[in-house]
Amino acid sequence: MRRKLAAGNWKMNGTGASLAELQALARAHPAPECDILICPPAPLIHRAAQAAQGTALTIGGQDCHAETSGAHTGDVSAEMLLDAGARHVILGHSERRADHGETSETVRAKARTAMQAGLSAIVCLGETLAQREAANTLDIIGGQLSESVPDLATGENLVIAYEPIWAIGTGRVPSPEQIGEVHGFLRARLEARFGAGVGRSVRLLYGGSVKGDNAAEIFAVPNVDGALVGGASLTAADFSPIVAALNASA
C-alpha cells in the first residue's frame, strides 16, 4: 500500500526564523497517517533536519548535481544533502528546466546519482499551456517520464510529481478529470516499464496551486498519492489544512 506524501517546496524562500513553521507544523500533526516532507533552501537543510528530529517531518533538498564531487562551484552533491539530513531531493522542477536549461537527460543523471547516494528522487514532469491546448499533454509527459527516470528506480527511491506548468503559482488548477487522466497514464507507463510491483508502488504527486480549499477534491482523484506544494507550504497555517486533507484520504 502506497503511503501518501505531503511535500512542501519552499523554493528560494526562508531564513532561520522560518524554521519555527516546522515546529508548528509538527505540533499540528504529531502522528499523521501520511508522510510530511519539507524541502527548504540548501543553507537551511541541516538546521531544518535538526528541528525535525523526534517529529513526523522529514527534510529534503531542491536540487543536486549529477556528479558526486568535483570542480562545480556553487553546486551541491547528493551526498552533501544526505549528510546534512535530507532524505529526498526534488529534481527536474519546471523552474529548473526553464531557468537553468535542464533537459530530461540532465534530470535522469541527477536522479541516478541521488538514488545511488541513498536519496529518494522526486522527479517533476509537466506541460506548458500551449502544449495542453494543442492536446499534446500525454506525449510531453510520456517523453519526460521515459527520459528523466533512470532504470534503477523503485517504489522506495522514486516519487513522480505531475506539475502542469500553467498551474504553478497561477491559481489555475486542472479539472479532476484532467489530473486523473495524467496520473492514470503515468501509472500505466510505470507498470509497463518496471513491472506491476514497482509501477504500483511509486507515489504520484500532483502539484500546482494546491490549497487547503481544493486539496480534498484533488486527493480524491485515483492515483493521486499526495501533493508537491509551493507557496502554501511556507507556513504551518497554510500547509496544515493540506496535510489534514491528505490524512483524511489515507
Q: Let me know if 93 is a catalytic residue.
A: yes
For position 173, what pLDDT does the model report? 84
For position 216, what pLDDT does the model report? 98
Whether the full predicted model's pTM is greater than 0.85, yes or no, is yes
SS (H, E, C) 48-89: HHHHHCCCCEEEEECCCCCCCCCCCCCCCCHHHHHHHCCCEE
Give start and end residues of each alpha helix (H) in the chain: 20-28, 45-52, 78-84, 94-99, 104-117, 129-133, 137-148, 176-194, 196-201, 215-219, 236-249
Q: What is the pLDDT of the chain when averaged over all its residues?
A: 97
Q: Let me know if 163 is a catalytic residue.
A: yes
Structural Rg of the chain based on CA atoms? 17
Question: What does the block give as the cell for 193?
Answer: 516499464
Query: With 0-12 CB in 10 A as exposed, 13-18 as middle and 19+ as buried, what is 185?
Result: middle
Residue 35's DSSP bridge partners are 5
Best CA proximity match to 165, nearest among 123, 137, 192, 185 = 137
The one catalytic residue among 88, 93, 95, 102:
93
For position 71, what pLDDT does the model report? 98
CA 133 to CA 154: how far, in whole Å?
33
For position 250, what pLDDT does the model report? 85
The one catalytic residue among 21, 95, 102, 163:
163
pLDDT bracket for residue 172 (50, 70, 90): confident
Q: Mind listing the pLDDT tens digit for each residue in 29-44?
A: 999 999 999 999 999 9
pLDDT bracket for residue 168 (50, 70, 90): confident
> For the packed helices 236-249 and 20-28, what is the interaxial angle rounded to 10 degrees?
30
